[in-house]
A = this chain, B = another copy of it.
């Protein structure tokens, strides 16, 4: 029980922040400058992961120092970052992890981020496996919440607290359904053609 378990702030990974992973995924999809990355955060629901220069530029520097990204044209004007092989590897390792109950329960947005980036990583089988683990984790968490509601501690809660927990229960069931539907949509049918974008 020393270290090892329970990371949380470090996005369940080895020293890379959630913002760091978001940057890695975006840069892999398309090499970009810090400013271009900021624009993505400002104009899409990805904004959840960050905002202002004060976080993005330092995060990019830190990724560069860790050897996960590098400037495509060192020296020159626009500072466009690309992934290094080490960065590819770190991103792949992060995306390869199955979703667990902790992740759907407390960091579901992170699981969704991984899903989004998985498009550039895995084939239909890999996506299917990811969504299966997502659905299983969501169902497991739903079962945990149900068990809590039925436990002495759960029954001792105030009415409003119970109703709030019921929100969590509905929400996670909804997520499980999404995973099942997404699986059906993405791993069936034709080859869907290319990379999207």
Contact = CB atoms under 8 A, between A and B. Distances in A.
Interface of A: 29, 43-45, 48, 106, 112-113, 115-120, 145, 148, 153, 156-161, 163-168, 170-171, 174-175, 177-178, 182, 185-186, 192, 195-197
A196 B158 contact: yes
A152 to B, nearest CB: 10
A160 B46 CA distance: 13
Contacts of A195: 158
Contact of A44 (B29, B120, B153): B153
A170 B112 CA distance: 13
A177 B173 CA distance: 13
Copies in the complex: 2
Contacts of A119: 158-161
A171 B178 CA distance: 9
B153 A115 contact: no
Contacts of A45: 145, 148, 165, 168
A106 B48 contact: yes
A158 B119 CA distance: 8
A147 to B, nearest CB: 12
A158 B116 contact: yes
A168 to B, nearest CB: 6
Contacts of A115: 160, 163-164
Nearest to A163: B182
Nearest to A134: B167
Contacts of A196: 157-161
A186 B163 contact: yes
B165 A175 contact: no
